[in-house]
């Protein structure tokens, strides 16, 4: 809750500020507003919250917190409920899904997904946590806010909770061929398949078991998302009983944020929902865990790494040590422990990094390495992956020894200052989702009884900590001893792969299925058949969504937002873009380096590695530890990333560049520029051990990403066979990058030495290439200081030539009119499918806008019902890249190798059927697209699109007008021309499947087994 970015400053201030605050100025504690009693009125000026109002609903006891910020119109709202699970059936998670499947006022199947296309929301979602469920949204449009509030409130308080929706979203027995009683019965359901995908990631399973073994009380002993083999024990009646108990105003907490009048929101809630309820006993708070007298140890088996990224076949295990700490309701204690955690884990100068990562004991920290502040008992956990079972005792001894040394020796004052500086910078750096971040940060702690206003007072907690450290220099060491070193509530949990794990899991699922089938009699067998047929028939029906509120295309603004731009040249040559913005005393720096002129061998073989390690190797003047500490003391970090952008007009060209980026407080801009000068002029690639450590850590991190990003990997890989730019992206961040990092990690000493020489050569070439800069900074003194230091401390010391947008040919990889299919076999229970079609249509081509609308229309009206509702995948959709690659994808999909490819193939025919789309559907797709086009932008990011892509206001307006003008006829025309496969005009198509073995695939598929 302390890593919250501050939101954007709005464009309109005058009358809106007055009207938003007018109703709040007279509020006093004890006053009544629309059935709510005012409990507290205060202000948090450092977060621009004036005032903060805490209220309670008089009749039901519902709790309410309003965060008023008159100059931010990206208004947010969240409703949260305490939903502690009592088993691992995933009841809170499945209820979250089914709640959004229709309500009394809006009896529409799946109104949540329907509203995604009837709104300009900047955020819409619902999330389940270990002990709470939250329904948040945000939007910059007042009418939209009121409509979403009505839909969300009716959904949570008056959902239909139909049996069919439970079967679709949760689980069901169903004939493999629906309607055919001779076909075998199988288990299906969206959440059932989702959780199979979640736990396909070994680290996700470790995290769940860590939580349940460390805090084995009534709440955290269970999987709140649902253990796949336990989910079939849940019934729809269980769901309805849980809803009646937990989704009651007496158990609710609401947060609203922004510039809209508080009384309007309270009045709508009171009239439409709360007035119908009486007070009932809220769900009991999660109890504190009884403390252990002795540490405990657990060992788990898991599936092999699904990405095959392990660098050493003998070191594929993970071990973690976790400690139950304090009470989440104690805000200052939680804050202090979070500072301690940063000192122990944050960066190469931290205590446990030096004890575990530098010696090369393992490949890198496991994902369960963090301080958890959202459970009732907070906990600290440190894990190491890429170790052998023989090393478990060594790892535990290294952790114990490092913590004891830190307790006895203390922490460097400079290190403490670096952590506190990062908190200050995070608080001042504004994000577009400021209010949403605040709400989601507050609610988990508030759920445990913390004072929500106290959760906002970061500046007060920093001041208190500074004062306490001055009076008690050993305060942090005392915390370390109490909660870690001398803490007997300590769990050591380890995990090793079992090659037969997936087979055993499949057998267990077969046993669960067999038990369910054995329980069926003649009547229930008939009901299963009827239910499957009924569900399929309903999924095939056209949904009448006319009762749902909607915006219209006329609600869109006429023009894109314009931002002031100043231009000049530094050192008489290097271009600089300056965007004066109200950045709250923070300077945002960007620079682009041209990568198109690099030696092809260096570009292909080593640039992805350079991007991964560039800021972490130190310089000729500072070793990596010292350099990292300097970075922490004055910036939020230095970023070096690949930047590939297709030409908006010329289909055959793209920009191949490297982006440098960083953020600092205005007072530190000179120090930040000096860091960049040192990195660019004095790069050092001489530390072999450091490079090996970074490569192992990067490979370990990549191994954890497939379960959550498999569809991205699939689309990247498919697109890599269509164009040079796609191939660049695949090598920089796709499956090819995973394989490359694994190869680097396996190099011998000579190979590492050669790699260091190549990196030094590449850095020398890249860092001297063509360059241009960008600054987002507050006008006045901040702008003047940033310009002065950028020129004096950086630009004047460089010999780079100006970067004037040098586009390079975006050559085709695959022959035109051909198709290719690859199956990357991985040990997964579900699959991820990506298919890309090369349309050759760039952003400003006359057909691009229609294809962009078409992608959204397909996602909402064809792929969602086919892939998610009928196929059981967690998600699926279509998208188009700026190069014109039109891509389909599915996510955690049990049908990825069977039905889904055929669904993708039918998409164009579906579009061409005159019965399937009307202008109202096209207009709904436009609203969804404009959610992204007109998404709120933080001050530090305003104008960035111009600098990074070359899209100026005139180009953006052309694209905007083209989007608004798209008709049904346009959709059908582009579908026929660019997406419809015909013998006389074959498409250029590439398909990638990532998933388990699929022997039924024909010989056209190239099968690539895990490395």
Strand partners, 663: 588
Nearest-angstrom CA–CA distance, 470 and 79: 41
The burial of 291, by beta-carbon neighbours within 10 Å (0-12 exposed, 13-18 middle, 19 or more buried), is given as exposed
The encoded tokens of residue 967 equal 């008709």
In degrees, rounded to 5, the angle at the alpha carbon of residue 784 between the alpha carbons of residues 781 and 789 is 120
Q: Rg of the chain's alpha carbons, rounded to an integer?
A: 28
Q: How far apart, in Å, are the Cα atoms of 882 and each of 710, 723, 846, 966?
A: 21, 12, 13, 18
Annotated active-site residue 682? The verdict is no
Task: Give the closest residue to 325 by CA, choosing from 273, 356, 281, 289.
Answer: 289
Instruction: Provide DSSP, 839-879.
Output: ----TTSTTHHHHHHHHHHHIIIIIIIIIIIIT--SEEEEE
Strand partners, 175: 185
The encoded tokens of residue 829 equal 């229970």
How far from chain centre, in Å, is Cα 628? 26
Nearest-angstrom CA–CA distance, 344 and 771: 38
Mapping DSSP to helix (H, G, I), strand (E, B) and coil, where does residue 365 land?
A: strand
The encoded tokens of residue 628 equal 């990292």
Nearest-angstrom CA–CA distance, 114 and 117: 6
Task: Give the closest residue to 710 by CA, choosing from 355, 193, 67.
Answer: 193
Contact 186, 176 (CB under 8 A): yes
Nearest-angstrom CA–CA distance, 254 and 78: 6
Task: Give the closest residue to 850 by CA, choosing from 1001, 717, 975, 699.
Answer: 975
In degrees, rounded to 5, the angle at the alpha carbon of residue 360 between the alpha carbons of residues 359 and 364 is 120
- Give pairs for 976-979: CB < 8 Å, separation 24+: 976/908, 976/912, 977/847, 978/837, 978/839, 978/841, 978/847, 978/851, 978/886, 979/837, 979/839, 979/854, 979/886, 979/907, 979/908, 979/911
**Strand pairing report for 1005-1009 and 819-825:** parallel
Enclosing H/E stretch for 80 = strand 75-82
Q: Please, which residues have CB within 8 angstroms of residue 237's CB and are 6 or more apart in sequence?
A: none
Q: Looking at 37, 50, 96, 650, which residue is catalytic?
A: 96
Enclosing H/E stretch for 22 = helix 14-25
Q: Please, which residues have CB within 8 angstroms of residue 411's CB and are 6 or more apart in sequence?
A: 343, 351, 476, 477
Contact 648, 949 (CB under 8 A): yes
The encoded tokens of residue 436 equal 């949403």
The residue behind tokens 């900074």 is 777
Instruction: Provide DSSP, 379-406.
Output: EEEEEEEEE-GGGHHHHHHHHHHHHHHH
Q: Please, which residues have CB within 8 angstroms of residue 165's CB and are 6 or more apart in sequence?
A: 98, 101, 102, 109
The residue behind tokens 């309410």 is 64
Nearest-angstrom CA–CA distance, 470 and 491: 34
The residue behind tokens 């990206």 is 74
Q: Please, which residues have CB within 8 angstroms of residue 500's CB and are 6 or more apart in sequence?
A: none
Contact 300, 311 (CB under 8 A): no
CA atoms within 13 A on the CB side of 163: 9
Residue 663 per-residue DSSP state: E
Catalytic center residues: 96
């Amino acid at each position: 809750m302390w890593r919250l970015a501050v939101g954007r400053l709005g464009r309109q201030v005058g009358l809106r500020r007055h009207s938003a605050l007018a109703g709040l100025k007279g509020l006093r504690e004890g006053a009544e507003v629309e059935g709510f009693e005012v409990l507290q009125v205060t202000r948090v000026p450092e977060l621009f919250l004036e005032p903060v109002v805490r209220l309670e609903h008089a009749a039901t006891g519902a709790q309410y917190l309003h965060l008023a910020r008159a100059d931010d119109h990206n208004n947010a709202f969240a409703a949260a409920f305490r939903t502690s699970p009592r088993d691992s059936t995933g009841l809170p998670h499945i209820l979250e899904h089914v709640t959004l499947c229709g309500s009394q006022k809006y009896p529409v199947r799946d109104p949540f997904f329907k509203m995604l296309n009837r709104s300009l929301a900047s955020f819409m979602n619902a999330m389940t946590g270990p002990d709470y469920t939250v329904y948040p949204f945000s939007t910059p449009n007042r009418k939209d806010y009121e409509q979403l509030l009505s839909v969300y409130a009716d959904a949570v308080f008056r959902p239909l909770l139909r049996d069919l929706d439970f079967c679709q979203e949760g689980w069901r027995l169903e004939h493999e061929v629906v309607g055919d009683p001779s076909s075998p019965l199988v288990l299906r359901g969206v959440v059932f398949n989702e959780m199979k995908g979640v736990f396909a990631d070994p680290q996700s399973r470790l995290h769940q078991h860590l939580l349940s073994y460390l805090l084995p009380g009534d709440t955290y002993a269970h999987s709140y998302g649902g253990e796949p083999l336990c989910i079939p024990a849940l019934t729809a009646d269980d769901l309805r009983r849980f809803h009646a108990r937990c989704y009651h105003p007496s158990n609710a907490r609401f947060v609203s944020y922004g510039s809209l009048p508080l009384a309007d929101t309270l009045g709508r809630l009171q009239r439409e929902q709360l007035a119908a309820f009486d007070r009932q006993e809220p769900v009991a708070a999660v109890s504190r865990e009884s403390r252990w007298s002795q540490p405990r140890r657990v060992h788990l088996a898991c599936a092999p790494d699904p990405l095959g990224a392990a660098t050493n076949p003998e070191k594929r295990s993970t071990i973690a040590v976790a400690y139950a700490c304090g009470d989440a309701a104690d805000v200052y204690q939680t804050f202090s422990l979070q500072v301690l955690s940063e000192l122990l884990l944050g960066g190469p100068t931290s205590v446990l990094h030096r004890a575990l990562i530098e010696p090369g004991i393992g490949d890198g920290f496991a994902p369960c390495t963090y301080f958890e502040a959202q459970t009732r008992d907070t906990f600290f956990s440190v894990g190491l992956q890429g170790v052998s079972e023989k090393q478990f005792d060594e790892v535990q001894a290294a952790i114990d020894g490092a913590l004891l040394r830190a307790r006895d020796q203390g922490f460097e004052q400079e290190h403490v200052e670096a952590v506190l500086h990062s908190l200050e910078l995070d608080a001042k750096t504004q994000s577009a989702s400021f209010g949403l971040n605040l709400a989601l940060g507050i609610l988990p702690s508030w759920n445990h009884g913390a004072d929500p206003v106290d959760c906002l007072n970061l500046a007060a907690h920093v001041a208190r900590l500074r004062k306490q450290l001055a009076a008690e220099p050993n305060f942090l060491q005392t915390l370390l001893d109490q909660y870690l070193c001398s803490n007997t509530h300590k769990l050591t949990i380890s995990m090793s792969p079992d090659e037969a794990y997936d087979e055993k899991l499949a057998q267990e699922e077969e046993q669960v299925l067999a038990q369910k089938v054995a329980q069926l009699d003649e009547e229930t067998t008939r009901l299963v058949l009827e239910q499957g047929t009924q569900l399929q028939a309903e999924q095939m029906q056209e949904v009448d969504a006319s009762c749902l509120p909607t915006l219209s295309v006329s609600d869109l603004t006429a023009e894109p937002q314009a931002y002031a731009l100043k231009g000049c040249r530094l050192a008489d040559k290097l271009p600089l873009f300056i965007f004066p913005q109200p950045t709250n005393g923070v300077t945002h720096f960007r620079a682009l380096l041209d990568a198109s002129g690099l030696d092809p061998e260096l570009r292909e073989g080593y640039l992805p590695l350079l991007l991964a390690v560039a800021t972490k190797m130190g310089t000729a003047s500072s070793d990596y530890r010292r350099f990292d500490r300097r970075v922490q003391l004055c910036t939020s970090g230095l970023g070096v990333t690949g930047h590939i952008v297709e030409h908006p007009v010329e289909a055959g060209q793209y920009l191949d560049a490297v982006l440098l980026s960083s953020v600092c407080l205005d007072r530190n801009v000179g120090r930040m520029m000096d860091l960049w000068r040192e990195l660019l002029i004095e790069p050092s690639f001489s530390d072999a051990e450091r490079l090996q450590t970074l490569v192992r850590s990067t490979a370990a991190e990549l191994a954890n990403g497939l379960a959550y990003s498999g569809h991205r990997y699939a689309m990247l890989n498919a697109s890599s066979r269509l164009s040079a730019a796609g191939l660049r992206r695949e090598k920089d961040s796709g499956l090819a990058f995973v394989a490359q990092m694994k190869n680097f990690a396996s190099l011998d000493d000579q190979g590492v030495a050669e790699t260091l020489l190549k990196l030094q050569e590449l850095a020398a070439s890249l860092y001297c290439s063509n360059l241009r800069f960008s600054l987002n900074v507050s006008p006045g003194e901040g702008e003047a200081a940033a310009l002065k230091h950028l020129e004096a401390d950086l630009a004047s010391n460089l010999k780079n030539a100006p970067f004037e947008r040098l586009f390079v040919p975006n050559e085709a990889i695959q022959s035109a009119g051909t198709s290719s299919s690859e199956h990357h076999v991985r040990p997964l229970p579900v699959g991820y499918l990506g298919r890309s079609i090369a349309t050759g249509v760039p952003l400003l081509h006359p057909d691009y806008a229609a294809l962009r609308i078409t992608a959204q229309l397909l996602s909402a009206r064809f792929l969602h019902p086919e892939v998610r509702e009928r196929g059981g995948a967690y998600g699926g959709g279509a998208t188009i890249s700026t190069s014109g690659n039109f891509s389909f994808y599915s996510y955690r999909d049990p049908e990825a190798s069977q039905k889904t490819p055929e669904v993708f193939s039918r998409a164009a025919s579906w579009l061409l059927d005159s019965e399937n789309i009307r202008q109202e559907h096209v207009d709904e797709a436009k609203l969804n697209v404009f959610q992204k086009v007109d998404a709120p932008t933080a001050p530090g990011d305003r104008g960035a699109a111009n600098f990074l892509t070359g899209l100026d206001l005139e180009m953006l307006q052309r694209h905007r007008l083209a989007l608004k003008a798209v008709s049904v006829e346009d959709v059908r025309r582009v579908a026929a021309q660019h997406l419809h496969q015909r013998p006389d005009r074959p498409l250029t198509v590439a398909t990638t499947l990532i998933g388990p073995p699929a022997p039924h695939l024909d010989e056209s598929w190239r099968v690539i087994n895990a490395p």
